Amino acid sequence: MRQVQAAFVITNFVALCFTALVMPHAHTAPASAAKFHSRADITEWIDSYREKPEPARVPSAVRALSKMGALRDPEAAGFYVGFVAGVLGANSRQAEHLIEKMLPLPASDQWLVVRAVAIGRRPVAAASSR
């Protein structure tokens, strides 16, 4: 009987130790949800988007670009507009939610969302007018 109790205690202890080692990592964000720290991080993520689409990360990318000042010059930010428009167009069911997560932005950067919405919806409007 003592051997059974000792085995039970040891098994529970091992399980407790395993849980203590694993559980702290269960609540950490996955690497894919890591914050963007630079324009290079965002560009790299955009470049790999086709292999691993993550539309839910687009709002944080837009907000990071805004904080980094990357949207001040609309001509230089055309790449980002096209990307966001493509994501919104390809994910029309999630588009409204994604846009809500992008906003609010400073007034000087809201143009990106407006243009991305306009561009992202063009194929839908063209297809429905036929």
- Residue 24 in domain: no
- Considering its fold, how many domains does the chain have in total? 1
Task: Give the pLDDT confidence of 101-114 residue by residue, as tens digits.
Answer: 999 999 999 999 99
Cβ neighbours of 94 (radius 10 Å): 15
Neighbours of 120 (CB within 10 A): 22
Rounded CA separation 42/47 (Å) = 9
Quote the longest CA-to-CA distance of the chain: 81
Provide the 8-state DSSP code for 46.
H
> What would the two tokens of residue 74 be?
């609309």
Q: Is residue 14 part of a domain?
A: no
Mean pLDDT of 119-127: 63
- pTM, whole model, 2 decimals? 0.70
- The domain containing residue 42 runs over which residues? 31-128
| Contact present, 70 and 39 (Cβ < 8 Å) | yes
- Taking 80 as the threshold, does the pLDDT of residue 64 lie above it? yes
Asked if residue 17 belongs to a domain, the reply is no
Give one DSSP letter per residue of 18-39, joined into a string: HHHHHHHHHTSPPGGGPPP-SH
In a domain, 10, yes or no: no
C-alpha distances (whole Å) from 66 to each of 14, 59, 114, 116 are 49, 11, 14, 15
Residue 83 belongs to some domain of the structure: yes
Residue 1 lies in a domain: no
Q: What is the pLDDT of residues 3-61, one digit of tens each?
A: 645 444 444 444 433 333 333 443 334 445 679 999 999 999 999 999 999 999 999 99
